Structure formats: structure tokens, C-alpha cells
Structure 1
């Protein structure tokens, strides 16, 4: 993996911390951003070393969303033929897949959000598991303000996180949703006075998650994501198969013993993965 230019990645005590580092550009999302994020998430997923992932940012804003320069030439959106419009579908599917990797990552993802979380950034954070925000944070479905429909996950995931009428208000008007209202609606888990406190809280939460048996966290993420999109009956059936696959008497004994002894548990990490196409 090449050294990224839009991000820095560190791993401390089983917690991965991915930081967007283009503050001067408001951490906007250009093609390099998408490529590097996709590569970094794939690396984290395959390595199996991290037990939780925190995503934070630098500067005044978490991210101002898609770089407008991208539409000026880096990405071709040909609306002059059916073939060109079909290619738009395939392009969006590829972009959507990068943020879906956050949802499908084997570990929980926590976002620490400051300032503006705009356009594509809303697409990204709605694919995370937990969101913390600083008091100056706000969320904006910016796409409607520039004459387009939000298309990389916001309109699909946000209605499962906050009231439908609020989603419609944001999507139709492009109004900002401030941190306090985001907290009241349940979009963010907690609001903090400063960006530093927000990141610290995200890292603390990740550390707590990392102290649990990784395969039990993996199973829990599988179950809650499945339950979001399926009936209770289907989800209970899936839970039976899932628990049968990941149950470990040893992990339960170790967790209980560690709790009684007031010490950290000793749990097996997730296995590293090797893509099938790399075998042979």
C-alpha cells in the first residue's frame, strides 16, 4: 500500500485511527481521497489487527464533501447519451461501495465530527456505527444546493437513523442540522465542547470495544446491521445461525474471570484475511 496523502493511519492498543489531513482544502473528497480511503479500509479489513476504527479530521471542518473540481474534469458525467448515463450508474456504484466498506468492516467504526459535515461527508458518517460531535458541528445535505440528488448513501441510511420528516427537510432544503438537534434526533451519540474532547471520547469508546472478544464484536455488528434491514423473525433466525457459528465457552469464561479479577481479558484477535484472487 502506498503512503496516503489525504489520510494518516495509526494503530495503538488495537485501535486504528484514520485522520483526514487536508485541512487547507476543507478535507474535500477528490478522486485521490476515494482511492486512498478504499485502499486503507481494505487494508484494515484484511489485516485483522485493529479491533475498532476511529475516523477523525483536521482543521475547521470534518469535511466539506465532494471536491467541486472533481465535477469540472476529474470525473466525466456524460448525460448526452443512454450509454453515458448508464456509465454514471456504474461510477456511482463504485463510489457507494467505498462507503459501504465502512458498514461491512469487521470492526466497529466511530466518527469524531467537528465543524461542517457536508454532502459526501454525511454519506460517509451515516455508514459508521457511532458518531460523536463537537458543539460546533453541523450536518448538511449539500447536494440539493448544487442542483443534484444526494447519491452515495445519505438518502438510504439517514432515514434509518433519524425521523423521516427531518431527513426530508434536510434533503429538500439543504438546511444545516446543528449538533444539538442532531443529538436530540439520535444522529450523534454525544456532543462535546471541543474537537479535542470529541476525538478523545471516540478513542476511549474504541478502547472499550477493543477490550471485548473481537469475534463477539464481529458477530454483534453482523447482527445489528442485519436486523436494521430485516424483520424480527428473519433477524432472530439469522441470530441463531450466527451465535452457533461464533459461540466460545473459552471467551465467556475469560470475560467473566477477567471481570471478577478486575483485569483486561485475553482474547484471540480476528484472523488475517487473504483475498482469494491473491492465492496461488
Structure 2
């Protein structure tokens, strides 16, 4: 398995198709460095293409999930973009931002579901990360903040685009303009996370159980459900129904369907082939 400066990939059980993608800069509170934005999409792509992987759990090592963008990296970007011709500097900065955006969007482009398991701080760029994930859970000690306005910048890696459809427009505006800290319990009330676990240990166990449950289902059905839900955000109901009809006309008749029906009739656990 490949090694990374800012990440670690762990398979906790050799018989499991649940893989853990861990932000691994604990001494920097898992702040997102420039290396992260190069490595993260590469790691996701390798997991996506690995037939042994069904589900990816995204978490952070150490005391916190993610403290946001590394301020040293932010200063480096600012310095590089403030020299030379104004037009060329601005074009270079735009390319940098687009590249960083693409690293976060890689979560959505990954066919396999990505579950965020959040403990401690989830600040700024950490919120960008989790809003791109498919399911989010946190521990009781988790807290969140969209801090970019306090750094005199507009959040530009996805939070402002994804959060309104998760928590509602008014709540997203409140959180983004005030940059206030909010708890895991409030995140649950807002719909940002699906469940709050009592401790980090409970979070790890609970998320692993959920992930294993999803991993046991048909990979064609799981990846298809993710793809259709993501696409449906941009479509009205009629267009969404047409899209899923086209999807299922290609994917519905499969060995997975036969196996699922057979398992139901025989009251046994289904066994699906790898994707």
C-alpha cells in the first residue's frame, strides 16, 4: 500500500472491505497542507480502483479531525500570487484554487461511499471535506466552525456550495457569516451529521458497524445509489426519474439481483462479487 506524507490508509481487518483513510498530521491538528491537496485525490483514486474496497471511512489521527487549511500553506499561496503581472498572478491563483477544489470534489467522484467520522475540531477546510462526504457522524466532543471570514477570505473549497442543501440556506448563511463554533449536538439538529456518539471509541465502533453493513450490500446498488443521489441534486423530479431509469436499464439485470432474490427466498446472507 502506498505511503503518504499527510495521509494513512488502514485496513483494520483483512477480511473487511471497509478501508480507513486517515488525516495524519496530528502534531499540526491535521491542518490541510499543499501536500494534502496533491495526495488526497490520488489516495481516493487508488481506493476507488481497488476491488477489495467497498466503503471508505474518513477520519483524523490525534486529538482533532481537522483544524482547517494550514496557515503556512495559505501564506505561501498568497505570496506566490502577489508577485509579477496582476493578470497572470490572478490566473495562477485561480488555477491553484481550482486544483484544491478538485481535491475535495474527488470525494464525490469516488464511486465508493465515503463516511466521515469526526471527533474534536472540524474547522474551515475540515467542513469543506465533510460536506463532500456521503454520510457524516461525530462524537460528543466534536465541534465545528466555518472560519474563513475570520481570515478575511471567502470559503472557496465547497462549503458554501454544498452546505445549504444539507442544513438549509438560512442556517448555512448564519454559520458562514458568524464563523461561530457549534457543537456536535447542534450539527445533528441541523442535519449536518446523522448521529452523535458518546465518545470517540463509540464513534469508531459505531461507524465501523454501519460501514460493514453497507459493505455487505450489492456494490452495484450501493455505488449506483450514490451516483443517482448526487446527480439528482442538479435535476428536477422528472429529470431525476429519467436518469435513474436510464441507470437501471443498464445496471438492474445483474448477478447481484439474482443473488439478492435467492438469498431472500432461502433466508441466508447474500454473497456479492467484488466491483
State the TM bucket, normalised to the shorter chain.
over 0.9
1:262 deviates by 4.7
TM-score where L is the length of structure 2: 0.93
**Is residue 2:72 matched to residue 1:60?**
no
Residues 115-148 of structure 1: CA deviation (Å, up to 9, x unaligned): 1100101000000010000111111111111110
Q: Distance in 1 between matches of 2:185 and 2:2?
A: 39
Once structures 1 and 2 are overlaid, which stretch shifts more, 239-248 or 43-52?
Answer: 43-52
Alignment of 1:116-155 (within 5 A): 116-155=121-160
**Is residue 2:217 matched to residue 1:194?**
no
Match in the other structure for 2:48: 45
The 8 Å contact of residues 223 and 239 in structure 1, kept in 2 or not, is answered as yes
Q: Distance in 1 between matches of 2:189 and 2:265?
A: 37
**Is residue 2:243 matched to residue 1:238?**
yes
Structure 2 gaps, min length 5: none
The 8 Å contact of residues 78 and 88 in structure 1, kept in 2 or not, is answered as no
TM-score where L is the length of structure 1: 0.91
Q: How many residues align?
A: 270
The alignment partner of 1:229 has SS state of: coil
**Is residue 2:70 matched to residue 1:31?**
no
1:253 deviates by 2.9
Q: Distance in 1 between matches of 2:227 and 2:75?
A: 39
Structure 1 gaps, min length 5: 271-280
Match in the other structure for 1:10: 10
**Is residue 2:221 matched to residue 1:213?**
no
Residues 6-30 of structure 1: CA deviation (Å, up to 9, x unaligned): 2221234111111122211100011
Q: Distance in 2 between matches of 1:175 and 1:104?
A: 30
Change in Cα spacing, 1:17 to 1:263, as seen in structure 2 (3 Å) is farther
Displaced runs of 4 or more, over 4 A:
none
Q: CA RMSD in A?
A: 1.7
1:71 deviates by 2.1
The alignment partner of 2:94 has SS state of: helix
